[in-house]
Structure 1
Amino acid sequence: MFDGRRLRTLTVVDNYTRECLAIEVGQSLKGEHVLEALTRITAMRGHPATIKVDNGSEFISKAMDRWAYEHGVELDFSRPGTPTDNAKVESFNGRFRQECLNAHWFLSLADAQSKIDDWRTYYNEVRPHSALQWMTPAEFARQARESASPELAGYHAARGGPWSRASQSGSCRWRPCWCSAGSRVERTTRRADWRPP
């Protein structure tokens, strides 16, 4: 909460590297906010082949559908009431809530965005991840880019950006894939002195 009001966040997480590409904060998040965030991200990273989303109204808008169609991006919707369909981002959101949202008292949306951006930097660049062989998401992404095959590099150059690997049914396929989900946030503690270690 900020100023006694709820805030919402949009989290965008790379499915392979576990990098948090963005966390957008707002009193409400509509489809146009999602598209603005995706436009900023794709300007730096290129368009993914797939974006896994939940069934929130911000993801099922006609504008989102049109954006995905125009950029050749598949929207992969999780089944309603099935958080295991998007387990990586649900796990991320749990860590985000525990390590950041529950650790701060936000004075305003700008204050919330600033503290959340600090935590996102900490998460990507300092905090090791057990599923990444105890590397940070940034280290893992760097190592993966350096070890990419020439064919993979050519594929991603043609798509205009970096890549990630998605696993389905026990096999791995190389393709860009992001997980993304909106989450309603409610404060439960009042610690204003938290700083990333």
Structure 2
Amino acid sequence: MKQALFQPERINQVWSVDFMSNSLWDGRTFRLLNIVDDYNREILTMEANLSIPALRLIRVLEYLKEFRGLPEIIRMDNGPEFISYKLECWCKENKIRLVHPLI
């Protein structure tokens, strides 16, 4: 059964984090990390690289923390970067609830 997404009531309440992939001219795949504030759909960052592991994602979130603050909730899928123990610990330390879709 599908569930309706929680609708945030203010900035920094819920962020969505996701990856997109594409290929370079030489066949190598690159990843694009997108972080969006779900309240106003503001794109907080877009990072491109050949690889964006969990530690890189944490570094990006730390950067956002400096000038934007952090959300109460982060929505993300079940990709390997998002189910990392390191990311889970970082979110707990920063009092952020991780929300993964029901499968």
**TM-score normalised by the shorter chain: which range applies?**
0.7 to 0.9
Whole-angstrom distance in 2 between the partners of 1:79 and 1:34: 22
Q: Counterpart in 2 of 1:15?
A: 38
Q: Indicate whether 1:77 and 2:100 are aligned.
A: yes
Aligned equivalent of 1:25, options 48, 54, 57: 48
Map 1:116-155 → 2, pairs under 5 A:
none
Q: Indicate whether 1:49 and 2:78 are aligned.
A: no
Higher relative contact order (Cα pairs below 8 Å, separated by 6+ residues): 1
Q: TM-score, normalised by structure 1?
A: 0.39
SS, match of residue 51 in structure 1: strand
Aligned equivalent of 1:2, options 24, 37, 45: 24
* Number of residue pairs matched by the alignment: 80
Aligned equivalent of 2:60, options 37, 42, 50: 37
Identity of aligned residues (%): 32
Q: Contact 1:54 / 1:79 at 8 angstroms: preserved in 2?
A: no
Structure showing the higher strand proportion among its residues: 2
Whole-angstrom distance in 1 between the partners of 2:100 and 2:29: 26
Unaligned runs of 5+ in 2: 1-22
State the AA in 2 paired with 1:54: D
Whole-angstrom distance in 2 between the partners of 1:29 and 1:3: 20
Q: TM-score, normalised by structure 2?
A: 0.73
Map 1:103-182 → 2, pairs under 5 A:
none
Unaligned runs of 5+ in 1: 81-197
Map 1:89-104 → 2, pairs under 5 A:
none
Structure showing the higher helix proportion among its residues: 1
Higher radius of gyration, 1 or 2 = 1
TM superposition shift of 1:2: 2.5
TM superposition shift of 1:3: 4.3
SS, match of residue 59 in structure 1: coil
Whole-angstrom distance in 2 between the partners of 1:42 and 1:56: 23
TM superposition shift of 1:79: 2.6
